[in-house]
Amino acid sequence: MERSTKILLQVSQMLLKSGPMDLDMSLVLSQLRELSGAKFGIYNAYSDDGMTFQNKAISGFPQLVQKAYAILGFSLDGRNWEISPERVKEISVGMPVRFKDLYALAQSALSRNTCKLIEGAIGTKSIYVIEINAHGKTIGDFILFFNRDSELQNPAEATTIANMTGVALHRQKSEEQILQKEKNFRAFFDTIDNYLFILDMNGNVLEYNKTARDKLLYEPSEVIGKSVLNLHPASRRDEAATIVKEMLEGKAEFCPVPLITSTNKLIPVETYVKHGVWNGKPAIFGVSKDISALKESEEKFAAAFNLNPAIAGLSLLETGEFVEVNRAFTEKLGYSKEEVIGQKSTDVLKLDPKFRNRNVTKLSSEGRIFNEEGIIFSRNGDPIDVLFSAEVLELNNRYFNYTTGIDITHRKRLEESLRENQLSLQSQTNRLMALIAHLPGGILLETHNRKVRVVNQRFCEMFGIPAPPETLLGADCRQCAQAAGRLFTAGEDFTSRIEEILSEGKPVLNEELPLNDGRVFERDFLPVKLDEGINEILWYYRDISPRKKFEQELEKARLRAEESDRLKSAFLANMSHEIRSPLNGILGFSDLLRGTILSKEKTQEFAEIIFNRGNHLMRLINDIIDVSKLDSGQMKINPVALDLDALLREISHSFSQEMKLEGKGNIRLELVSPFQPFWIETDEMRLRQVLENLLSNAVKFTETGTIEFGYHIRDSYLQFYVKDTGAGIPEDMQESIFDRFIQAAAHNEKQYGGTGLGLAIARACTRLLGGDIKVESTPGEGSVFYFTIEYHKAGMNKPGISEELPDTSLLNHDTILIAEDDDVSYRYFKEVLGEYDLTLLRSTSVKDTVNIALGTEPVKLVLLDIQLTDGEGWEAVRIINKHKPNLPIIAQTAYAFENDRQKSLKAGCNDYIAKPIRKDELLKLIFKYLGKNK
């Protein structure tokens, strides 16, 4: 056999025998080199995509290879070279293709120089490339290098080797791919978590995966080739058998029967099957899914569902029918499960339709509702407040509405009663605050750490705080107290007292605090016990200024009452003395006149004394009546024109007389006056009264020296004065002596008597006359009393009663009617008028008076007493005036009663005369109406 044929045979046998993984391309290449006579060979494998190739085997002298690498600068091993499509085309001709040198082959992948160097190093020149083809695709090539002078030998055999290599490589690749697929499948089969079984059409197991092996724990021999029913629990094997039968017949795809392990543990599974082909035969592929976790969670859910204290129900979303309700549902709502399951939730729960619709909308749009408050009704109609939550659940492709309702009825009740409590607390607080706000006093409540807790408006007012009370809340009480301290007379003591009270901690009541502005506050301190150990501090301030003032006035009034009581006693004592003394004189001397025959002088003297004392008594009585008139406001003035000069002279004259009588002739009485007529208009009687009063005081309190009196004209006033050199009046009494009953204390040693009324009356009179009275006095030296009256000039000299006694001889046989019921008074008239040429008639009643006056007697004048036996004389005046308007009527009025005088003139009397009637005055008056020279 030829060597080439031998090689060909060897190579073909090698390629045939080799398995997928053990094809040795170096061996193939070296055989090819030997066959072809090449010095050097390379095998290149093309990538599947035909873009790159890699040098996979080299054959030749290893030293030369290293040399070539040194020239290239790199090893060819593992290096990817780009495939040139032109070259592939060039070599795909089914026979070796010759290139004249390396540069021609490298096609600019290597420089000409490099190619030359390599050719030199390995000592080659011509190059042959043989394509390796499989199924028409170039999958690699052999490159054979030849010495300079040699060429490829056995080209046909070399091509055959390349072709056989192509087939072998292709086969190798296919086998590799199958192996890989098998591996992939096995890995996939084993890594799947589900239990995978492959059954033959008898229901015996052909194959099962790692999961099934590991979980079911059987020996493969117990499973492979055995019925799948063995893997199901004996108790359900019949059921499984039926299903497996149906599955084999293609009638069933699902089996719920659990699997059982070799250790007898049940594994709940859901098994789905598919028909297919395994190893060319019809088979069934089964996938069992372990649903223990699901089962467990289902059980957990059921337990949770049932034990849930909230009312819970599961209903079909579509129809609203209950499919499950929990224990709380049945217990709280009073339905049994049977009554509810299958019923519509709306029928059972009787929800407010509005509430329901709102929540159904929300549930369908948002997929859930959470804690919506609503009311459901139990079977017997009791309302239950609940917090609804609902969610849509998907179970086995069906939609459910899972609704829970937490019963908050109890909480609601609590909330309501809490709210009620709060309201009542609030209203109580409001009432309390209103009470505090309206308290008449100022309230300040401090916290235990002395911050303002409560304060009212009144407090702010009392302390002059302009801000509203709310703004003080929380303020520091110490600072407030310091600021307030300035208001009080106690000043700094105010604050230290507060500290003292606080440290003692005992209630303090009615503490008086005078203020600088005259007000007086009263303060209470009350510690208020709140909780154990915590005290609040309550201050209550009252403005007691009005009460204080009232108390002071009450005290004054009490003192005044005591004083006036004392004064009244003194007055009564004095009065008795004042009345007794003149009476004593009158009675004593009249007794003397009555008994013995006395000389004319003595008779004259005694009569003077009696007259004088009578006048004295008269003044006393007048004083008392004046005081009562002052009290009743009846003191009126009656201005007339008078000659002041004449009046003063007359008073001066009568006082000179009196002083002599009193034994005070040593005192000089001096009237300071211009001594010429000075006509003014005033109340003569009152003016006289004041002057006489002051003069009689001056006489009474003066022992030696001078009494001077007179007047000055001051603009619209007349100022009178009475000056003496007597005892004087202590300064502190100079005001009060003008009050009634007040007598200066300094005179206590000496009994002056008197009633203490004179100056009070004098002051009232001067004020009535438009002026006032005052005194200037130095005790021991004397006093000056000044008084003023309004000055009204009298226009003309009004006719008055002349000073001189009229010439009574000019009275002639005239008849006078005297209406007088008092016998003594009538006797007096008879005595006075008896010596004149007059006829006197007497009447005692109104009736008689009228009869006589209008009768036949030639009555020329009526002297009419107002008080008659059968009534008041006014009636008589009225009738007489009516019938004899020209008959003059003179009323006799009691001096004391001002009214009578006014009334009598008003009633129609022509004139009046005051009782006691003096002889001179009476005569002057009678003469005025009956005098012949009129």
- Summarize as ranges the residues that interact with ligand ADP (CB under 6 A): 697-698, 701, 724, 726-729, 737, 743-744, 747, 754-760, 783
Using CB atoms, what's the residue nearest to ligand ADP?
Answer: 754
Residues 208 and 198: beta-carbon distance below 8 Å: yes
> 195 or 741: whose CB is closer to ligand ADP?
741
Distance CA 245, CA 182 (A): 31
Q: Name the minimum Å distance from CB 740 to ligand ADP.
A: 8
Question: Residue 897 in 3-state DSSP?
Answer: coil
Q: Name the minimum Å distance from CB 627 to ligand ADP.
A: 11
Q: Name the minimum Å distance from CB 845 to ligand ADP.
A: 41
Q: Name the minimum Å distance from CB 558 to ligand ADP.
A: 24
> 441 or 754: whose CB is closer to ligand ADP?
754
> 124 or 743: whose CB is closer to ligand ADP?
743
Which value, in Å, is the radius of gyration of the alpha carbons in the chain? 79
**In this structure, which amino acid lies at residue 104?**
A
Q: Name the minimum Å distance from CB 916 to ligand ADP.
A: 22
* DSSP code string of 33-61: HHHHT-SEEEEEEE-TTSSEEEEEEEES-
Residue 908 contacts by C-beta under 8 Å, 6 or more apart in sequence? Answer: 877, 878, 881, 889
Q: Quick check: bond before 916 cis, omega within 30?
A: yes
Residue spans of beta strands (DSSP E) within 838-910? 838-843, 859-865, 867-868, 871-872, 889-894
> 154 or 755: whose CB is closer to ligand ADP?
755
Q: Name the minimum Å distance from CB 726 to ligand ADP.
A: 5
Residues 452 and 475: beta-carbon distance below 8 Å: yes
Q: Name the minimum Å distance from CB 665 to ligand ADP.
A: 18
Secondary structure of 620-677 as H, E, C letters: HHHHHHHHHHHHHCCCCCCCEEEEHHHHHHHHHHHHHHHHHHCCCCCCEEEEECCCCC
**In this structure, which amino acid lies at residue 649?**
R
> 747 or 918: whose CB is closer to ligand ADP?
747
> 124 or 777: whose CB is closer to ligand ADP?
777
Residue 767 contacts by C-beta under 8 Å, 6 or more apart in sequence? Answer: none
Q: Name the minimum Å distance from CB 844 to ligand ADP.
A: 39
> 501 or 727: whose CB is closer to ligand ADP?
727
Q: Name the minimum Å distance from CB 682 to ligand ADP.
A: 21
> 724 or 848: whose CB is closer to ligand ADP?
724
Question: Residue 6 in 3-state DSSP?
Answer: helix
> 106 or 651: whose CB is closer to ligand ADP?
651
> 540 or 721: whose CB is closer to ligand ADP?
721
> 743 or 849: whose CB is closer to ligand ADP?
743
Q: Name the minimum Å distance from CB 762 to ligand ADP.
A: 7
Q: Name the minimum Å distance from CB 775 to ligand ADP.
A: 7
Distance CA 741, CA 561 (A): 13
In a 10 Å sphere around its CB, with 0-12 CB exposed, 13-18 middle and 19+ buried, how is residue 169 labelled?
A: buried
Distance CA 682, CA 793 (A): 9
Q: Which of 408, 334, 338 is nearest to 378 (CA)?
A: 334
Distance CA 686, CA 711 (A): 16
Q: Name the minimum Å distance from CB 680 to ligand ADP.
A: 25
**N-terminal to C-terminal alpha carbon distance within the chain:** 224
> 737 or 789: whose CB is closer to ligand ADP?
737
Helices (H) and strands (E) in the chain, counts: 29, 37
Q: Rounded to whole angstroms, what are the CA distances from 391 to 149, 327, 352?
A: 94, 19, 19
Beta bridge partners of 335: none
> 436 or 627: whose CB is closer to ligand ADP?
627
Question: Residue 538 in 3-state DSSP?
Answer: strand
Rounded to the nearest 5 degrees, what angle is found at the Cα of 510, between the Cα atoms of 509 and 516?
Answer: 135
**In this structure, which amino acid lies at residue 422?**
Q
Q: Name the minimum Å distance from CB 897 to ligand ADP.
A: 23
Give backbone dihedrals phi and psi of 129, rounded to 5 degrees, phi first: -120, 130
